[in-house]
Amino acid sequence: MSQTTTILAGDCTTRFETATTSDERIHRGRVVVLAKPDRTVLVHDRAGYQPVAWLTRPDSLTVEADDDGFAVTARDGDQRLSVRSHDAGEVVERPISAAGVPVGECPDPDCRAALVRAGGDVVCLGCGDAYGLPPGATVHDDDTCDDCGLPTMTVARGEKLRLCVDYACESLTEAVRGVLDRRFDCPDCGRDLRVREHRGRAFLGCDGYPDCETAFSVPSGTFAGECACGLPRFETATGVRCLDGTCERDRPAEPNVGP
């Protein structure tokens, strides 16, 4: 699963053409060309961070190189980027990976490479093992799972839950079950709301299913009191909301006034 990037350097003519507008931009100079595994091509000259020319994830990319030089051609819709060297230049291939925030070390004794959080995953830069994170997860770089040695994470689903990042090691659904199963009543029929799982995601569904099809996804957040509708409210990254994302009475319940 290791990927490589091609780095090309030399005295080149770079041509960027847009067919529909007959627009053509030509640059010549000693440049460095980066061709990434996702086909993105960047042509850099000596100054600044911005490429002289580039195409992000084009439809096609070809790289040709021999003793006389190299040619890179990328096409995306009506755009075409070509780089042709005027000398032999240099062409090298190097391994490349996602780069992310370091969160520890691979527990595999044969690997021990760095683990990083990149996008929605914790990824090992050595063996390539990847662990998908649930929404709203905070990964701890200073705490590892007692069972497998991977980093732990905190996920809020009503309460804050600390778990292994590997779902196969410690199931988030099981943890959510401990917090939310049978804790609240279905607003439509009064039966218990049960924790169920769909495609690896925990949700709350009525115990009366299929007679009652009421179901709610579990927000990423901690309990923030009761809603006027009777369901719990959650403090999320974007504010306080009812468990029912479509609740029309989404506001704190009136305090009970005794007789």
Among 33, 55, 153, 242, binds Zn ion (CB under 5 A): 242
CB of residue 103 to Zn ion, shortest distance in Å: 13
Our CB check for Zn ion shows the closer of 168 and 257 to be 168
Quote the CA–CA distance of 108 and 41 in Å, as a whole number: 35
Burial 28-42 (b: 16+ CB within 10 A, else e): eeebbbbbbeebbbb
Among 114, 127, 179, 240, binds Zn ion (CB under 5 A): 127
Q: What is the dihedral sign for C-alpha 176, 179, 183, 188?
A: negative
Q: How far is CA 147 from CA 38, 106, 163, 165, 190, in A?
A: 36, 13, 11, 12, 40
Q: Does 214 bind Zn ion (CB under 5 A)?
A: yes
Q: Does 145 bind Zn ion (CB under 5 A)?
A: yes
Q: Does 136 bind Zn ion (CB under 5 A)?
A: no
Q: Does 204 bind Zn ion (CB under 5 A)?
A: no
CB of residue 243 to Zn ion, shortest distance in Å: 7
Among 126, 179, 197, 253, binds Zn ion (CB under 5 A): 126
Quote the CA–CA distance of 134 and 167 in Å, as a whole number: 9
Decide: residue 165, CB within 10 A, 0-12 exposed, 13-18 middle, 19+ buried. buried
Our CB check for Zn ion shows the closer of 31 and 106 to be 106
Hey, which residues does 106 pair with through a beta bridge? none
Among 53, 81, 124, 175, binds Zn ion (CB under 5 A): 124
Our CB check for Zn ion shows the closer of 9 and 148 to be 148
Structure tokens given for 55: 């195409």
Our CB check for Zn ion shows the closer of 61 and 161 to be 161
**Given the rule CB under 5 A, which residues bind Zn ion?**
106, 108, 111, 113, 124, 126-127, 145, 147-148, 150, 164, 166, 169, 186, 188-189, 206, 208, 212, 214, 227, 229, 231, 242, 247, 250
